[in-house]
């Protein structure tokens, strides 16, 4: 069973899907669990039901929104892909500090493959657990904002929040 929770945030509604154990399997700035379910790896998909309480993930999101920018760091996430680089890159992405975004080039270097800029960008694009795995902290190689599944307005808000 997958549990769905939606929280109101200053950046818009934020929904996350968790396993029975509380691991976040998908998250994004939407009210639709149906929009998130296709992001969950097929091996992790299950029936979706509304959660009865926000759980630790929701508590961490609320703490993050009120200024504890490291509150999301301890939330367990569960996502899979076919490529070992992408899974490793997602772990590395969690180490990018709030208020200190990096470029795709910098992210590729942090992930140990400085020439793999496109693979680093692809890891951002394939990230199913927005906010918890902070792909919003990765910028275009020229330092500008690039695509974000949930919109550049949300990405801008998140980066501004982390800068404050």
- Summarised one tens digit per residue, pLDDT across range 125-140 is 999 999 999 999 999 9
Q: Output the pLDDT for position 146.
A: 86
Do the Cβ atoms of 75 and 132 come closer than 8 Å? yes
**CB atoms closer than 10 angstroms to residue 62:** 14
Rounded average pLDDT over 2-14: 97
63-111 pLDDT, tens per residue?
A: 999 999 999 999 999 998 778 899 999 999 999 999 999 999 999 999 9
- Give the pLDDT confidence score for residue 145 in this predicted structure: 92
Question: Tens digit of pLDDT for each residue in 11-43?
Answer: 999 999 999 999 999 999 999 999 999 999 999
Tell me: pLDDT of 151 over 80.
Answer: yes
Q: Is 124 a catalytic residue?
A: no
Entry pTM: 0.93
In the chain, where the domains are located: 2-74, 84-163
Catalytic option among 133, 135, 138, 159: 135
Q: Which backbone phi and psi does 5 adopt, to 5 degrees?
A: -135, 140
The whole-number average pLDDT for the span 130-158 is 94
The tally of CA atoms less than 13 A away on the side-chain side of residue 91 is: 8
Structural class in CATH, domain 84-163: mainly alpha
pLDDT of residue 31: 96
Identify the pLDDT of residue 71. 97
Query: How distant, in Å, are the alpha carbons of 26, 43, 66, 85 from that of 17?
Result: 5, 15, 22, 24
């Amino acid at each position: 069973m997958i549990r769905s929770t939606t929280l109101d945030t200053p950046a818009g509604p934020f929904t996350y899907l968790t396993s029975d154990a509380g691991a976040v399997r998908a998250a994004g700035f939407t009210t639709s669990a149906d929009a998130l379910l296709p992001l969950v790896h097929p091996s992790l998909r299950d029936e979706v039901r509304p959660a009865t309480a926000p759980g630790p993930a929701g508590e961490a999101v609320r703490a993050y929104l009120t200024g504890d920018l490291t509150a999301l760091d301890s939330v367990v996430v569960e996502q899979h892909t076919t490529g070992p680089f992408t899974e490793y890159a997602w772990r590395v992405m969690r180490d990018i500090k709030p208020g200190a975004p990096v470029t795709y080039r910098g992210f590729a270097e942090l992930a140990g493959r400085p020439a793999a800029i496109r693979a680093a960008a692809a890891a951002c694009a394939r990230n199913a657990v927005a906010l918890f795995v902070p792909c919003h902290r990765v910028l275009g190689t020229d330092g500008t904002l690039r695509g974000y599944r949930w919109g550049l307005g949300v990405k801008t808000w998140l980066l501004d929040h982390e800068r404050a």
